[in-house]
Every structure is written in structure tokens, then in C-alpha cells.
Structure 1
Amino acid sequence: MSYISWFNKHGNKHKVIVEKLQAKGLSKEEIVDYFDFDNMVKSESDFCYLYAEKKKCHDVKHLNCYLCACPLFRFNSNGIEKIGEKTAFSYCEVNSKFGHQGIFGDAIHQDCSRCTVPHSKKYVLKNYDENWFSIMASCDVENE
């Protein structure tokens, strides 16, 4: 699955959940709390393929799944730049010390597996928008 396919599919799943919670009258903080990993595994098992195994994408005690991606992640499904014989498809906007560029065959992808920043409740509340696509608007660099 390409980055843009995942991005659009995930954003639409996120929208459905948020609209459901808003219809119930939940506040911003209650919506963010709902996206706690333990709750999401029980309540929204189709939101993430890792939920079937109750597996977290990051090893943190209180993982919040509201963003399920980072607003600082940049991608282009067609490639961003050639580096020698390889093509880079993604990178971190702030070059986080917790991430690195991974080489997978002829492709270079940003590996954010050691970065937990976007998965804390504090970060989510600071960057909160009911529209996931608004928070993530700068991620797809295809049209820059």
C-alpha cells in the first residue's frame, strides 16, 4: 500500500470515529482519551491492523492513537529524491534524533519506530484538530 493510500484510508477511518464521538457530545479531552491504545483495541478493533494482536507500534506505557502518524512526517509516494541508486520516499521534517532513514532494497524510508512524540496525550491536545487531515496537511509533499 502506498503512503497516500494509507493516509487517505486512515484519515477517513479517523473521521468516522471522531464524528461518532462528537454525536455523543464528547469533549476534546474525552475524544483524545477515547483514542488511548487500550480502549481502541477493545472499541475500534479495525482502526489498526496491530490491534488484532494487541501489539503497540511504539513501546510506551500510555500510547495515544489519535494521530497514528506524525504531523512532522513527510512523504511522497512517487519518491522525493534519488540518493545514488536508491529513492527516498519519506523523511522527518525536524530530523528527530529518535528516527533514522532505513534502507529497504532500493527504497529509503523514514523509520520513526523509536520516536513516541506524537503518541502522548499532551502532544495530541497541543496539536488537536477534529479533522485529522488538517493536522496532517503538510505530510504529503507530492505537490510542493
Structure 2
Amino acid sequence: MRLQFVGSIPAKFLLIDLDRWLARAYAIDTMAKILIVDDDPDLVQLLSMALQAKNHIVESANDPIEGMKVCRSFKPELILLDYHMPGDTGAHLFENLRRNRATAHTPVVFMSGEAASSDIFAEIADPANARFLAKPVKIDFLRKTIDEMLAKPSL
């Protein structure tokens, strides 16, 4: 069924309704697809619950190789990435992500309880669109960081 307007509506009412509609649509559509790559299952569960409480869609991987596989199918809008993991480092996964056209500009938040941000950013070639959080991660600060990273325009 097609609806048709008959008559006219003052522009100021259209703008007010449009503003309300956009505000509502933005509030509903604020969720993002977030991938957590970390070898600590307890931390992954905690972060997943905290992010899902804010309507984010969350997937996880417990090592960088699995993380790259999940990236291909899940297509995350942001990645939370542990720096130290058995077998490979988060920095290596980051470099692989940057070489892949589909993930080259995906924001990444590194997390580590062992390395300083200067150590991590010295190891990666292009730290653009990346942040660092020290473990233990404070959930409120993590949410704020995620909001800031998602608000940035992609390069």
C-alpha cells in the first residue's frame, strides 16, 4: 500500500519531527559490532557482558589467528586486542589487519597488563586509529574509549 500526502505541512513541523526521528534512530542504532581478542576467558566474559549491556554485538577469539578468521566473517567495527597472547602478539594481528583492505581502518584498542603504550606503539608501523588501555581495564573508561573511537570518522 502506498500512502500519499494531500495538502502541505509547515516546514518547521517537518524539521522538529525529523530531529526527533533522527535522535530516536541514533539512540536505537548506537550498537556496534565489537570483536574481543584475548586469551583470558574470564576477562572476555566480563567485557562481553559489559558491552552487550550497552547493546553492542560482541564476538570473541582467544588468539590472533582465530581473531583474523573471526574478523573476516564478523566484520567488526572495533576490536579490543590483548597485546600478549601465547603463540603470537596483538601487534602482529594489528599489522595483518592494517594490510587487509577490509580491516585497514578498523579502530583497535590494545589492552595489556604487562606492556606500556610506548612499547606497543613502538612495535607497530602505523598506530593511527589505535588506543591503549592498561589492565585491569576499568569498564566505564573502556566504554568511554569505545564511544570515542566509534565516533571518529574512518580514514
- TM tier relative to shorter chain: under 0.3
- Greater C-alpha Rg: 2
Task: Name the structure where helix makes up a greater proportion of residues.
Answer: 2
- TM value normalised by structure 1: 0.27
- TM value normalised by structure 2: 0.26
Higher relative contact order (CA 8 A, sep 6+): 1
